[in-house]
Amino acid sequence: MAAQPPAAAKAPRTERGRKTLRKLLDAAAGEFGDHGFHEASISSITRRAGVALGSFYTYFDSKDAIFRALVQDMSEAVKVAAREAIVPDMQPLEIERAALQAFLEFAGEHKEVYRIIDEAEFVDPQSYRDHYETVAARIRERLETGGAKGELRHGLGEIEAWALMGMNVFLGLRYAIWREEGDPDSEGVARAANAMLAKGVAR
């Protein structure tokens, strides 16, 4: 997923090592996503990855360690997906629309991301909290930049950032993870949510 190896993994020193680490993290996403932390096993992860068991221990000390690395990896991947959707010259509101649409598409393609990040609340609470605090800080910065540029209201801060993050997370839950026949597509959901974000619900 993300391009940078997560800090919780031991850093690979070769390109081959980097690829092995990537295979292990992708396999871990599948394994934890399918079975949850408690039922998942290191041997299933290495089998899925097509990697020798010994290679696992080159990068991780334990199942807890790869889970922690995976949460960091997914958190980074969510960030990259949003960032890649943002192009220079986009205005602040357009940035939020594009970031949400990219997130909805990312979550639709990587449905395990919800289960894994949500399970971190129980398996690795610090990573869970770090993830949301990092995302909220990023949103807050964008809102403040938008205020400085004049497109957004002044004085937007942490409350509005957490509110906006919550909107996006729950729209992903409903329209990516629990998607139903006939639902609006990512673009339609992002457009409606952006209208609400821009002008609110008052008449």
The minimum distance between CB 146 and a copy of itself, in angstroms, equals: 7
C-alpha to C-alpha distance for 1 and 59, rounded to whole angstroms:
17
Q: Is 82 in the site for a copy of itself (CB under 8 A)?
A: no
Residues 135-174 that bind a copy of itself (CB under 8 A): 136, 143, 146-147, 150-154, 156, 158-160, 162-171, 173-174
Q: Is 119 in the site for a copy of itself (CB under 8 A)?
A: yes
For a copy of itself, give the closer residue by CB, 45 or 156: 156
Q: Is 199 in the site for a copy of itself (CB under 8 A)?
A: yes
Q: Is 95 in the site for a copy of itself (CB under 8 A)?
A: no
The minimum distance between CB 161 and a copy of itself, in angstroms, equals: 9
For 88, 139, 142, 151, 152, the CA distances from 95, given in Å and listed in that order, are 10, 10, 9, 12, 12
The minimum distance between CB 175 and a copy of itself, in angstroms, equals: 8
The 8 Å CB, 24+ separation contacts for 76-83 are 76/1, 76/2, 76/4, 76/6, 77/1, 77/2, 77/106, 77/110, 77/113, 78/103, 78/106, 78/113, 78/135, 79/2, 79/134, 79/135, 79/138, 80/2, 80/3, 81/105, 81/106, 82/106
The binder of a copy of itself chosen from 48, 79, 115, 138 (CB under 8 A): 115
The binder of a copy of itself chosen from 12, 30, 36, 108 (CB under 8 A): 36
The dihedral formed by the CA atoms of 55, 59, 63 and 69, expressed in degrees to the nearest 10: -140
The contact set with a copy of itself (CB under 8 A) reads: 36, 38, 93, 115, 118-119, 121-122, 129, 132, 136, 143, 146-147, 150-154, 156, 158-160, 162-171, 173-175, 178, 184, 189, 192-193, 196-203
